[in-house]
Structure 1
Amino acid sequence: MADATERQSLAEITAERGWSRRVSDRVDIYLRGPARVRVIWQGDEAISGGSRYHDDGMEQYTRDLATVKGWLTH
């Protein structure tokens, strides 16, 4: 079995924490209650950017994968 990619690992971690995930090509959208996180990927190991929303209002944007992981795991 091949090693998991960053994208696969993030999907597994978020599923354990109650996030649902929708995938559309390079974009993963994570939903939990009024929170939504949109991640745009460059391949499966790096992101172009991520946005965090609450009640459809954008709160934050980052290009740092560690920041996105923080949003989704805390």
Structure 2
Amino acid sequence: MTGTGERQNLVQFGEEQGWRCHGHERADVYLRGTVRIRVIWQGDEQISGASLFHDEMYESYTRDLAIVRAWFKR
């Protein structure tokens, strides 16, 4: 992924917390164990939304980047 700004910062933050990131076009998918976070971006600075899944079961949705960062710390 060649993103810069907030998107690249989130990738780096996720990797520091032990998450693997797979990015494609507007979406980044973060994986760690049985937990998955999917982030949809509007450009490289703002998210459209993000979803949290445990064992492939939908758990939560947010449009707040601070909440996504909190999910990484779980």
User: Could you state the TM-score of these two structures normalised by the residue count of structure 2?
Assistant: 0.90
5+ long unaligned stretches in structure 2: none
- RMSD over aligned Cα, in angstroms? 1.0
Provide the identity percentage.
Answer: 52
Alignment-derived partner of residue 7 in structure 1? 7
In the superposition, the TM-score normalised over structure 1's length comes to 0.90
- 4+ aligned runs moved over 3 Å, structure 1: none
Tell me the amino acid that sits aligned with residue 65 of structure 1.
L
Structure 1: gaps spanning 5 or more residues: none
* 1:57 is aligned to 2:57: yes
Confirm or deny that 1:28 pairs with 2:28: yes
In structure 2, distance between residues paired with 1:17 and 1:69: 10
Output the CA distance in 1 between the equivalents of 2:65 and 2:8. 13
How many residues are treated as equivalent by the alignment? Answer: 71
Q: Secondary structure at the match of 1:52?
A: strand
Shift in Å, 1:65? 1.0
Deviations along 1:16-70, one digit per CA (max 9) or x if unpaired, are 1110000110000000000000000000110000000000000000111111111
